[in-house]
């Protein structure tokens, strides 16, 4: 069937409550070295805040991030994908929605996140495999021609 979303997703999703300040969200992103935080209401996924959202909020409001609740900035509703879907589905959804991150949901439960970085990293693994196969093919070809 090919590579599925669950094969490339990150299982540890960093979250923050909707009423958390953007300053706290920024600190959380730095502490966990992530580019986004999934925003929750009563423990359920509500939206997502990215690094770009933080910058735009600071720029457009002119207010300190400590004064801005995450709910006001979060992209909502979340765009999600099922973990069993092929990665092509995730790529198509990202392109259609013009986003770089998809929350992975299995039976209404958040189980991961897949980002363009995850897909690029996976493509790098695939590319390395293809290069190795090609290298071995060339070596076999060279061996064959020297034996003649």
Instruction: Indicate whether 5 pLDDT > 90.
Output: yes
Instruction: Indicate whether 124 pLDDT > 70.
Output: no
Full-model pTM: 0.78
Least confident window among 85-89, 97-101, 129-133: 129-133
CA pair distance 86, 29, nearest whole angstrom: 28
**Edge-to-edge strands of the sheet including 44-50?**
15-17, 36-41, 44-50
User: In this predicted model, what pLDDT tens digit does every residue of 9-39 receive, in sequence order?
Assistant: 999 999 999 999 999 999 999 999 999 999 9
**Alpha carbon distances (Å) from 106 to 13, 86, 137:** 14, 14, 41
Instruction: Indicate whether 138 pLDDT > 80.
Output: no
**Alpha carbon distances (Å) from 18 to 34, 65, 76, 112:** 18, 14, 11, 19
User: In this predicted model, what pLDDT tens digit does every residue of 35-84 receive, in sequence order?
Assistant: 999 999 998 999 999 999 999 999 999 999 999 999 999 999 999 999 99
Q: Which two tokens stand for residue 86?
A: 């092929």
Q: What is the pLDDT of residue 120?
A: 83
Q: What is the pLDDT of residue 118?
A: 87
Domains of the chain: 5-147 (3.10.580.10)
């Amino acid at each position: 069937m090919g590579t599925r979303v669950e094969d490339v997703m990150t299982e540890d999703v960093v979250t923050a409550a909707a009423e958390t300040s953007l300053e706290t969200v920024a600190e959380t992103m730095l502490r966990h070295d992530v580019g986004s935080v999934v925003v929750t209401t009563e423990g359920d996924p509500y939206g997502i805040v990215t690094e770009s959202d933080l910058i735009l909020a600071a720029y457009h409001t002119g207010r300190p991030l400590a004064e801005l609740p995450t709910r006001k900035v979060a992209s909502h509703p979340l765009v999600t994908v099922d973990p069993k879907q092929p990665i092509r589905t995730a790529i198509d959804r990202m392109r259609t929605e013009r986003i770089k991150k998809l929350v992975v949901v299995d039976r209404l439960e958040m189980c991961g996140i897949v980002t363009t970085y995850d897909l690029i990293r996976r493509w790098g693994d695939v590319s390395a495999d293809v290069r190795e196969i090609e290298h071995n093919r060339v070596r076999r070809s060279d061996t064959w021609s020297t034996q003649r």
